[in-house]
Amino acid sequence: MATFVLVHGSWHDGTLWADVADRLTERGHEVHSPTIAGHGPGASRAVTHDDCVASITQYLDEHSLGDFVLVGHSFGGSVIARVAERLPDRVRRLVFLNAFVPVNGTSVLDNTPPAYQELFPQLAAQTTDDTVMLPFEVWREAFIGDADLARAEETYRLLTPEPLGPTVEKLDLTKFYSLTHIPRSYVLCGEDAALPPGDPDHGYLANARRLGVFRLVTLDGSHEVMFTNPALLATKLELAGRD
Amino acid sequence: MATFVLVHGSWHDGTLWADVADRLTERGHEVHSPTIAGHGPGASRAVTHDDCVASITQYLDEHSLGDFVLVGHSFGGSVIARVAERLPDRVRRLVFLNAFVPVNGTSVLDNTPPAYQELFPQLAAQTTDDTVMLPFEVWREAFIGDADLARAEETYRLLTPEPLGPTVEKLDLTKFYSLTHIPRSYVLCGEDAALPPGDPDHGYLANARRLGVFRLVTLDGSHEVMFTNPALLATKLELAGRD
Amino acid sequence: MATFVLVHGSWHDGTLWADVADRLTERGHEVHSPTIAGHGPGASRAVTHDDCVASITQYLDEHSLGDFVLVGHSFGGSVIARVAERLPDRVRRLVFLNAFVPVNGTSVLDNTPPAYQELFPQLAAQTTDDTVMLPFEVWREAFIGDADLARAEETYRLLTPEPLGPTVEKLDLTKFYSLTHIPRSYVLCGEDAALPPGDPDHGYLANARRLGVFRLVTLDGSHEVMFTNPALLATKLELAGRD
C-alpha cells in the first residue's frame, strides 16, 4: 500500500479531495491532502509561490512523511515540481493530473493560452487582494462540463479566490528538470477543456511531454473529475502511482 | 426536456438523422432535422452558403422554434455558426459535432487539409452541376471506418452529391465570433479520420479551440457515428446540449 | 476469415505475438508472425534494413502467402511499408499499430524525438555489436505503463538487443507513398508514451497522417498492449483488418 499526498489546484483547497481520498483509503492507502498556503476559506492571499511550496514541505515534515506518491492537480503541478526539488529523496513518484509542468523560467500563467493571460490580471485588478475568481461560465463549460448544472453550481460554491501572485511568478525549475531519476506519471482527463485540448503548445500533453520519460494514464472526465467521478479517478491514481 | 435542431453535413440530408432523432425523441426531447438547401435527393444544387443558412432559419421560423439546442455536423458547423448570427436570441446552445468552426473570412474548404482542397474542385469540374461526390474508398476508410463493409456500402447509397459552391465561399463570421454569450459544446468522435486526426491546424480540436470557452464531450466512433452508433450519439448530444 | 501477418517492432521477435495470435486464431483467422532478420534470441545483429524486409518477403514466399493483412508494430511499420513496395499485389491491407510511417528519405530514428536520436547511438557505441538495449525505466514507464511492475519485469526479460543499423538507414519510400490503392488502417493505443503523445511532428498521429486516406481504430493501452491486453488488441486488429 502506498502513501498518497494530493496537492490541489487553483480555487481548490485540500478538503475538496475528500471523495477521492475516501476511495484511496478504502483501498488501503494512506492519504494526505494538505491545503496550499493562500488557499481555502479564510486564508490570507498574500503569498508567494515559495510560500505555497513551503506550506506543503512543512506539512510533509510535520507528518514525517517520506516515500510518498506526490500528486499535483492543475496549478498543483508547479507546486509538486518544486517540492520535489526540496525533498528529492522522499518522493517515490510524481503524478501530474491535468497539471502544469511549466517551462523552466516561466510562470504558470505563461503556460496558459493568451486569453487567460489577459483575463486573469484583469480580474485580479478588480479586487482589493489581487485575487482571481473563475467566472461561473468558464467553470461550468470548460472545467466541469461533465457535471449537470446543479452539480456545477454546487461545486462552484466550494471554490475560493485564487491569489494571482504565485501564478505570475517566474519559476526556476532547473533542479526539477535534472531530477530525472524520480519516476513520473501524467494522468490525462480526456474531456478537459480548461486548457485548450490538443493545443500543440499549451495543451495538457505539451505539459506532459516536458516530463521526458513518463507513464501516461488516461480517463474520461473533465478537469474536475475529483467531483464528477472520484471512484474512477482513485483507480487511475492508483495505477499512476504504483511502481 | 430540450428542443434539438440537428443540421446535417455534406452529402447528407435531414432524414439521415432518423436513428439519432428517434433516440432523442424516446428520451422526451423535441427533435427537428431540416434538410439544408441544395442537399438531399432531387434538390437543385445551385445554392450559395447564404441559401443554406436561409433554408434553416426559414424552417425555424415556420415552426416557430426558439430556445433550441442547435447541432451542426461537419459542414453543418459553418451553417449553425451563421444561423446563430441571424437568430442569436433563439439559440440556447450551439453543439458542434466533429464540425467545422471556420476561421473568420475563410471558406469551409480552406479549413480542410491540402489534399481535399485539391481533390474537391477537381471532382466538381467533372460534373455538369459543380458538385462533389465523395469517393467510396474515402467514405469507407476515413469517414465510416467503424462500420463493416456492408453497412459502409448501404450508407454510401444514401448520400447525394454536395454542391461545391457553399464550401468554397469565404464566410464573414465576425458576428459569430462576437456571440460569446451563447454557450457552446464540441462533441468529438475519436475514430474520425475525415479530417486529419491530431493535425494541429486542420484537426477537429483546432476547430474546437476557435470556440473559446466550450464544453468538450467525447465518444468512440467515426465521422458517421449517427449511422454506426446512434444510441451513443444521442446520449452524448444530450450531455452536450444540457445547460 | 482473413490471413494476418504480424510484423513485430524493435526488441521483439515473432514469438511475442503469441497471445494475440492465439485470439485471432480462435476467431478463425490464419496468423503468421515471422521474426525479422537480426532480431530474436541468438540471431546475428549484422543486418541492414533491406535484410529485415527480405526476411519477411522470404517468409511470405516460402509460405506462399497472398491476400494477407500485413500488420506492423512500431519499427515494424517501416518494414511493412517496404514489404508492400515489393509485393504490392499480395497485400490486402496494411495495418500500422502505433507504428512508424517514416517520412520519405528519412530513417526510423529520424522520426523519433531528439532525446532518442541522441540516446540510441550512445547506447550502441557501448556495445561490441552496435545494438541498443532499451533501459528498463523507459520500458516500464513509457512503453508498458499499463502493466504492474512484475509484468513489466517479466516482459522486459523477453526482449533482445536491437541492431542500430536498420533504424539509422535512410529509407527510400517513394514507391510506398505511391501505393495509395492499398487500403490502410492505423491502430492507435491511447496510453502509449513511447513516442511523445500529442507531439505534432513526432507523435503517432503525425505518422498516421502520412498514410493519406486511412481508417483509424483506437483502444486503451500502452505501446505493449500485445502483452497487457491481447484480447482487446486482437479484436481491434480484426476491426482494422476487415475490408
CB contact set of A89 (below 8 Å; sequence gap of 6+): A66
Contact A186, A96 (CB under 8 A): yes
Q: Mind telling me how many Å the CA of C188 is from chain B's nearest CA?
A: 9
pLDDT value of position A130: 98
pLDDT value of position B223: 98
- DSSP class of residue A38? T
Which residue among C10, C33, C55, C74 is the active-site one?
A: C74
Nearest to C216 among B115, B197, B199 (CB): B197
Pairwise CB contact (< 8 Å): C190 & A218: yes
Largest CA distance in chain C: 47
| Chain A positions in Cβ-Cβ contact with residue C191 (cut-off 8 Å) | 216-218
User: Rounded to two decimals, what is the model's pTM?
Assistant: 0.98
Contact A20, A225 (CB under 8 A): no
Mean pLDDT score, C170-177: 98
Quote the percentage of chain B above a pLDDT of 70.
100
**C225 in contact with chain B, both atoms CB, cutoff 8 A:** no
For residue C157, what are the β-bridge partners? Answer: none
Closest CA to A33 of A59, A14, A58: A14
pLDDT, one tens digit per residue, over A57-102 is 999 999 999 999 999 999 999 999 999 999 999 999 999 999 999 9
Nearest to A218 among C115, C148, C191 (CB): C191
Contact A217, C145 (CB under 8 A): yes
State the cell numbers at C47: 543486418
CA–CA distance, B98 with C208 (Å, rounded to integer): 19
Q: Annotated catalytic, B185?
A: no
DSSP helix, strand, coil percent of chain C (3-state; round to 5): 40, 15, 45
Mean pLDDT score, B52-71: 98
CATH code for the part of the protein at C3-241: 3.40.50.1820
ipTM (interface pTM): 0.97
- Interhelix angle for B76-86 vs B49-62, to 10°? 60
- The chain C residue lying nearest A215, using CA atoms, is C141
Instruction: Give the start-to-end residue ranges of the domains of chain B.
Output: 3-241
CA–CA distance, A107 with A116 (Å, rounded to integer): 13
Closest CA to A9 of A99, A81, A82: A99
pLDDT, one tens digit per residue, over C105-118 is 999 999 999 989 99
Residue A185: enclosing H or E segment and its boundaries?
strand A184-189
CA–CA distance, B107 with C61 (Å, rounded to integer): 51
Contact A131, A191 (CB under 8 A): no
Number of neighbours of residue B181 by Cβ within 10 angstroms = 7
Nearest to B215 among A115, A193, A220 (CB): A193
pLDDT, one tens digit per residue, over C197-226 is 999 999 999 999 999 999 999 999 999 999
| Chain C positions in Cβ-Cβ contact with residue B142 (cut-off 8 Å) | 213-215
Pairwise CB contact (< 8 Å): A191 & B217: yes
- E strand map for chain C: 3-7, 30-32, 68-73, 91-97, 131-132, 162-163, 184-189, 215-219
CA–CA distance, B78 with B7 (Å, rounded to integer): 10
Pairing between β-strand B184-189 and β-strand C3-7 as defined by DSSP bridges: unpaired
